[in-house]
A and B are shown apart, each in its own frame.
Chain A
């Protein structure tokens, strides 16, 4: 059976069938043989019994009479029966009485007392009783030959062998034919399995006709193929995952390698850092100890945490002595004049607590002994690596000595300036008079010399002025008077001022102004522009063009002065702003400059926090540019954050005076008006239309000069509604007053009259129209002009908010849809300003406004008009009525107050 295990399934099946069938056949044959043999024996026994009965009955008498012969004869009668091979008769004592032995080969056994059949190898023996009258008288022995039994057996065996052989052949044939149905699929499965195990190719499939069978084999094959498909799919998925994993692993490995390297680096770095730290700590200690400035660390609640020796010396205090006090209470508790200075009022202490850096140029610190010293200090907030505010480091310096030196220097400069100017005044005066010829004729050469002397005296004077200017700006002596500056106005004014110089030089000045509100010192910005324009004109040929332009950036406004002159060589572009830097030596003579103009410009621009630079202006000339920070724009979002008190409302007045001493302008400034100056009728008209002042003041000496400017102002839609106030000289009763009777022009006689007239003029009803449709706006403005009502027009919401704050209109007409923010946001912003809360409002919108929205749109008396339902004349009537009511109410309030 073991051999089967190694043979193929085909052989095994065949063998199983063969073994099974041959066993069956053999068993059958054996059965038949055994049954044949048994039949033979029983037949023989029956034969023998018949013979024995016959013989015994025949031999009874012979025995009873002892007739041996008769007995012998009876026995011999058995001769025809060849199967009987021996017979004998025994008497009642068992002695042999007669015998029959046809074949000597058989011997007669002694009497067997037991009756019955006895089987021996080659005979079948029977002992049979001979009975007479129920009395046993002897025993009969009969034996039959059964040697033929083996030959029978052999015969049977041959037959059986033949049958077995034939049936095996048939079985073999059949099994060969039939076992394919079972072994074939299995062999195929085995083949595929082997193939897969050898090639690892799971795309292989078992193919067999049994696949379509609906039996177990079919199921097995289908299942096998299904399993393969499953494995293949899983394989593919595994492959994908594998690839992905490989990528990930590769990446991770790389990262790990890198991290490892970094770690190594970091370790080395850490060691270096530790070393460095130790060195730094030593150095810091050294620096702190040896610094001549006081260095003080304070915690977030203003308490001192460390103090270096220099600081301790200056303050006359040790750190221990300051314990329990805040820094402010320890050294900053009094003002410079000795009045108490509580910490709650100290902005610097607040700033330090809030983590803001501070820089104070001059302050006073007090020592415990009651003395004080002038100090300059800077506080830098300290944060830990997580950005947590720890406190601040305050560096301070005793500036008593420096202040003394500054004072000396300032006195010196002032003295020098006076001492230099005094003789120069005499020289310039004397030379001027001489060269004028008024004192008598001078010889031609002498005249020339005098002119040289005058020119150079003038140059010397300019030089002294410029040096003083530069010294004052550079040292911060001249504090910039910062405020919002209208970029467009300042550009126009600068050009206005330089106009005559440009005309003389035959240079055309083109202005490309741009709107923007700067944060700076108007006069100084103007000085810078004038300086740059003057330079441009000086270095430009006749007939060339100089362009002044401005661009508003995000945080800065960029001014640009471009000329078509001879330009600045590339190598000089950087150095040109240095003092006494001139492109070539001939400049100073040819153009009479001090060489300090650009240095002054630079000082001014830097003091403003801007920058200035020069570049070549291709193809010819140069371009000077500088930036000035823009005022923080009034965005609706930021508007809400501005405290009401921080935006004082100032009336803006345009002053035009041909009085060079600017008496009226100065007066108005001192009375809190925002003053913009113009120096020519055209300039005044341009500025007025650009900045829309609350009023225009004309301070014109010569009576005949006023008419052109009044006409100019009234000829333009943009300026005709601006109230005009004229100063005393104009109003002198020379019969011309009738010409000024126009209701928009008022005359003022004295200073107080002027202010009152101006206040009155500024309070004249005006309307803010917020409307992005410019055609409609123009119509409305014209309509209202007929009633003598001045209208400011805003297209955008932000502009509306700005104009409202600037002019405090008597009435606001508001469209809801605007290009930037909507009307709701405008009203929201206006509500933030106390003085605008009661301003009457007409919401003049394209769509109806719901009641919920209406509540969000209220200021003072608020009316809602829908454009499609309300004719222009209805609208006009509403405006006039509302305005009249407001004016009346204001008048009543004023009367009540008076």
Chain B
């Protein structure tokens, strides 16, 4: 029996939030929380203490790295593993992101059926 997981998806695109959320629900049976931006995301993370956060990199107000920094600095959310969800997949970007302390990078677009597995691989669940 797989452990029940709670995952927070932060993305400014509601369609992506919905698709990603639905994917994780139907393929892995996880509980999915969503937030439409960095500010909402960090607040929600503190409130709900998810097991992992799927974080979009390019967002209008607070981008991925800023949100990550906010999560790391915020009490209670610093240890939550963060995975970037990004359309930027250049090797240089990848290394830069890894140095920021993310646990994994999942390129957009993703295969909805493999999204859960990719998260599990990245976090060794």
* Interface residue ranges, A against B (CB under 8 Å): 414, 417-418, 421-430, 432-433, 436, 438-439, 457, 461, 465, 472, 478, 481, 523, 658-661, 663, 666-667, 669-670, 701, 729
Quick one: CB contact mask for B35-70 with A, threshold 8 Å, 1 for yes? 000000000000000000000001000000000000
25 contacts between A and B (CB under 8 A): A414-B88, A418-B87, A421-B109, A422-B87, A424-B108, A425-B108, A426-B13, A427-B109, A428-B109, A429-B15, A429-B109, A432-B112, A433-B22, A433-B26, A433-B112, A438-B26, A439-B22, A457-B109, A478-B92, A658-B121, A666-B94, A666-B98, A670-B99, A701-B121, A701-B124
A438 vs B99: C-alpha distance in the bound complex, in angstroms?
37
Q: How far is the CA of A436 from the CA of B27 in the complex (A)?
A: 10
Contact call A660/B121, Cβ cutoff below 8 A:
yes
Please tell me if the beta carbons of A661 and B121 are within 8 angstroms of each other in the complex.
yes
Say yes or no: is B6 at the interface (Cβ < 8 Å to chain A): no
Closest chain A residue to B95 by CB distance?
A666
- B33 adjacent to chain A (CB < 8 Å): no
Contact (Cβ within 8 A) B124 A423: no
Tell me, in angstroms, the Cα distance from A661 to B118 when the chains sit together.
9
What's the nearest-Cβ distance from chain A to residue B2, in Å? 14
Q: A421-B87, A433-B26, A436-B112 are in contact. Are A426 and B103 (CB under 8 A)?
A: no
Chain B residues whose CB sits within 8 angstroms of the CB of A666 once the complex forms: 94-95, 98
Interface residues of B (CB under 8 A from A): 13, 15-16, 18-20, 22-23, 26-27, 58, 87-92, 94-95, 98-99, 103-105, 108-113, 118, 121-122, 124
Of all chain A residues, the one with the shortest Cβ separation from B104 is A661
Give 11 A-B pairs besides A422-B13, A461-B109 with Cβ atoms closer than 8 angstroms: A417-B88, A418-B87, A426-B16, A428-B111, A429-B15, A430-B112, A432-B113, A433-B22, A457-B109, A666-B94, A701-B124
B91's partner among A422, A430, A523, A667 (CB-CB below 8 A) is: A523
Which A residue's beta carbon lies closest to that of B26?
A438
Beta-carbon contact of B124 and A429 below 8 Å = no
* Chain A residue with the shortest CB-CB distance to B22: A433
Contacts of A432 in B (CB 8 A): 23, 111-113
Q: Which residues on the A side are within 8 Å of B23 (C-beta)?
A: 429, 432-433
Most buried by A among B94, B95, B98, B104: B98
Whether A424 contacts B95 by the Cβ 8 Å rule is no
Cα A670 to Cα B19 with chains together (Å): 35
Given contacts A433-B19, A661-B105, A661-B122, contact A428 B26 (CB under 8 A): no
Partner of B110, one of A423, A428, A430, A670: A428
Q: A424-B109, A432-B113 are in contact. Are A478 and B19 (CB under 8 A)?
A: no
Q: How many whole Å from A62's CB to the nearest CB in chain B?
A: 194
Q: Which A residues are CB-close (under 8 A) to B92?
A: 478
| A417 neighbours in B (Cβ, 8 Å) | 87-88
Contact A422 B16 (CB under 8 A): yes
Most A CB within 10 A of own CB, among B16, B89, B108: B108
A481 to B90, CA, bound (A): 13
Residue among B16, B20, B99, B105 facing the most chain A CB atoms (10 A cut-off): B16
Would you call A429 and B104 a contact (CB within 8 A)? no
- A439 & B26 in contact (Cβ 8 Å cutoff): yes
Query: With a CB–CB cut-off of 8 A, which chain B residues contact A438?
Result: 26-27
Q: Give A465 to B20 CA distance when docked, in angstroms.
A: 21
| CB pair A425 B109 closer than 8 Å | yes
| Cβ–Cβ contact A418 & B58, under 8 A | yes
> In the docked arrangement, what's the CA distance between A787 and B22, Å?
59
What are the residues of chain B within 8 A of A427 when measuring CB–CB? 109
Contact of A425 among B19, B90, B104 (CB under 8 A): B19
- List, in ascending order, chain B residues with CB within 8 A of A461's CB: 109
CB of A436 within 8 A of CB of B113, answer yes
CA distance A13 to B99 in the complex (A): 135
| In the complex, chain A residues whose CB is within 8 Å of the CB of B104 | 661, 663
Contact indicator B99/A425 (Cβ below 8 Å) = no
State A422–B88 Cα separation when bound (angstroms).
11
Shortest C-beta distance, A524 to chain B (Å), equals 9
Chain B neighbourhood of A426, CB < 8 A: 13, 15-16, 18-19
**Cross-chain contact B27 with A478 (CB below 8 angstroms):** no
* Chain B nearest Cβ from A773, distance in angstroms: 45
Bound: A667/B99 CA distance, A: 8
A380 to B74, CA, bound (A): 58
Which of A417, A426, A659 gathers the greatest number of chain B CB atoms within 10 Å? A426
